[in-house]
Amino acid sequence: MILEETLQQRVPMGRVKAHSMTMNGTEAQKFDGAAGRPSLVDPFGRDISYLRVSVTDRCDFRCVYCMSENMAFLPKADVLTLEELDRLCSAFIARGVRKLRLTGGEPLVRRGIMTLVNSLSRHLHTGALDELTLTTNGSQLAKYAQEIKAAGVRRLNVSLDTLDAEKFRAITRWGSLDQVLAGIDAALAAGLKIKINAVALKGVNDDEFPNLIEWAHGRGMDLTLIEVMPLGEIGEGRLEQYLPLSIARARLAERFSLADIDYRTGGPARYVRVAETGGLLGFITPMTHNFCESCNRVRVTCTGTLYMCLGQEDAADLRKPLRASESDDLLFAAMDEAISRKPKGHDFVIDRRHRRPALARHMSATGG
């Protein structure tokens, strides 16, 4: 109830037509945000229109590439409340964010998550937001799919690395394949479009890619393969897990006809169409192909820490300005200052000289 009331006061006044001004030949502020506020543009001229928010660092799985078995989770007081998360997301929307992805940890294990989803969906109704979506491991989808669809979410990313129940258990440590498959069924039945994300793990699931392609495409779902990124201490060597997707693609090309296409979802994936199935296959290759030049996104953790780049440590604390004042002025100032520091790109490396994680934080902190 409190959430609803606070939110109504913050509903944007309507989106102002995007335009830019030119002064002395250089582009100046763009007014692209809802309520006519200036949009967030980084020093390289990239419009920040995509926000990914990790709503919890907790998860009901312990995927081997993402978490160690004994993770220490954040104290509750450090984690933003649902109201605070809503306010933070709404501030970004007011400053031109058009696409919002909730992730985690596992977003659907956050208590009250549907209150947040339902309340954020008002930005879809006002037209301030083009898309509200989630990345999930699928374990809770059977429970939430209908409600998610009813909130105006059109598509979901579901992470699934294998169709082999034993392998699934080994990769996720705690997960049940049947539960995830039931979740995917429920989401498809609810009319949600699904993209499957699979992390490519050398010697673990690489033999299954053809099978995953046929299964996903056979059900009308696109599939994206992701290279393992060196985030967080996981208690196992990355080098052993890392499979360059250039190799995976070459192997797949022996079996399928892969045609490069221009299709982009605003994300870093490059897509091919698989002639035999008619479906799309994406490759996210942060290690073998740097995708930074067109980066339009930033990430916020559940503690309100803003990461301007997934692959860099530099971050800004937005929780402090958020909690310091009921007005959003301090928050906007902190956002502006942070975006002015968005780096040109990441510098991930996995090789024999770099056996430690490139970054100390786990993927579950920023949500991928």
In the complex, the residues that contact ligand SAM under the rule CB under 6 A are 59, 65-66, 103-104, 106, 135-137, 159, 197, 199, 226, 228-229, 231, 363-364, 367-368
Instruction: Specify whether the CB–CB gap between 41 and 352 falls below 8 A.
Output: no
Please report which helix (H) or strand (E) contains residue 118, including its range: helix 113-120
Nearer to ligand SF4, 331 or 365 (CB): 365
Which phi and psi angles does 134 have, rounded to 5°? -135, 150
Distance CA 48, CA 308 (A): 10
Q: Which does 226 bind (CB under 5 to 8 A by kind): ligand SAM, ligand SF4, none?
A: ligand SAM
CA 295 to chain CA mean position, Å: 13
CB of 302 to ligand SAM, least distance (A): 12
Q: How far is the CB of 61 from ligand SAM (least distance, A)?
A: 7
- In whole angstroms, the minimum distance from the beta carbon of 20 to ligand SF4 comes to 38
Least Å from the CB of residue 300 to ligand SF4: 16
C-alpha 284/C-alpha 359 separation (Å) is 19
* Closer residue to ligand SF4 in complex, CB, 187/338: 187
Assign 132 to helix, strand or coil.
strand
Based on CB atoms, which residue is closest to ligand SF4, 104 or 230?
104
Residue 102 partner contact from ligand SF4, ligand SAM, none using kind-dependent CB cut-offs of 5 to 8 Å? none
Query: Which amino acid, residue 224?
Result: T
Among ligand SAM, ligand SF4, none, what binds residue 67 when CB lies within 5 to 8 Å by partner kind?
Answer: ligand SF4
Nearer to ligand SF4, 63 or 295 (CB): 63
Q: Based on CB atoms, which residue is closest to ligand SAM, 119 or 197? A: 197
| Beta carbon of residue 203, minimum distance to ligand SAM (angstroms, whole number) | 16
Question: Considering CB distances under 5 to 8 angstroms, the limit depending on partner class, which of ligand SAM, ligand SF4, none binds residue 62?
Answer: ligand SF4
Among 280, 279, 282, 149, which Cα is nearest to 224's?
Answer: 282
Q: Which is nearer to ligand SAM, 17 or 111 (CB)?
A: 111
Residues that bind ligand SF4 (CB under 6 A): 59, 61-63, 66-67, 104-106, 137, 159, 364
* Residue 72 CB partners (closer than 8 Å, separation 6+): none
Q: How far is CA 3 from CA 119, 120, 148, in A?
A: 8, 11, 18
95: tokens are 């400053």
For residue 44, how far is the Cα from the chain centroid?
A: 22
Q: Which is nearer to ligand SF4, 100 or 234 (CB)?
A: 234
Helices (H), 190-309: 209-218, 238-241, 245-255
State in angstroms the smallest separation of the CB of 318 from ligand SAM.
Answer: 20
